[in-house]
Amino acid sequence: MTADQIAALFTRADGTFLCARWARPVAPVIFGLADESLDIFRSAIRAGFAHARHPLTDADPDMGANLMLFFVRDWPDLGDVPDLDRLTGMPDLVDRLSRARADQYRMFRFDTDGGIRACMGFIRMGGPLAHSHPGHLAETLFMRCALTFARDIVPAADMALLIRAAYDPVLPVAASDRAHALRLAARIGEA
């Protein structure tokens, strides 16, 4: 991957660049899946963060779980999540997702150093995602929660190498300068 290709992955529609990774150990929790699917998603998260050389934990000392994935058949089902508006800071989240006919939505919270503090992912399985292979979907969701990608990505070897490079401990946990893409591109060959 070239630096320009990498920069495009982290550049938002308004032209701002943000590449942030988790700085704290990740404590994942998954809601709404049957046991047989749950194991697939847990395994994908474990394998993904192991590849990135980043630790998982049972509980974050500040928040308990800091990576929360919510699977629902349709968006109104999120109404059953206690205190969803307080959790997300978005009292109209269900309406917004329904109006947009979205299949998934992801939101991040950040520590003072810019590293990812928490990620919440909401996945509607009643639409096109109902036909997704669980392993492919699990890998996709991991990748989209590992870094602050500005666009949707799909699992691929170059994405796995990019994630591993971004977790190099000599790099900052967050960067808002496009020049960071040059550093990532240089490390992909070393990952």
Residue 22 near residue 13, CB atoms below 8 Å: no
Question: Closest by alpha carbon to 109, among 65, 143, 151, 77?
Answer: 65
The pLDDT of residue 7 is 98
Residue ranges of the chain assigned to CATH 3.30.379:
23-146
- Asked whether residue 191 carries a pLDDT value surpassing 60, the answer given is no
Mean pLDDT of 24-43: 94
Distance (Å, whole) CA 19 – CA 16: 10
- Asked whether residue 4 carries a pLDDT value surpassing 80, the answer given is yes
pLDDT tens, residue by residue, 47-57: 999 999 999 99
Mean pLDDT of 148-160: 95
Distance (Å, whole) CA 162 – CA 18: 14
Q: What b/e string do you get for 26-45 counting C-beta neighbours within 10 Å, with b at 16 or more?
A: bbbebebbeeebbebbbebb
The pLDDT of residue 190 is 63
Confidence of residue 131 (pLDDT cuts 50, 70, 90): confident
Task: Assign domain 23-146 to its CATH architecture.
Answer: 2-Layer Sandwich (3.30)
The pLDDT of residue 88 is 93
The pLDDT of residue 36 is 86
Confidence of residue 8 (pLDDT cuts 50, 70, 90): very high
DSSP category for residue 116: E
Question: What long-range pairs does 92-97 form, CB within 8 A, spacing at least 24?
Answer: 93/122, 97/122, 97/124
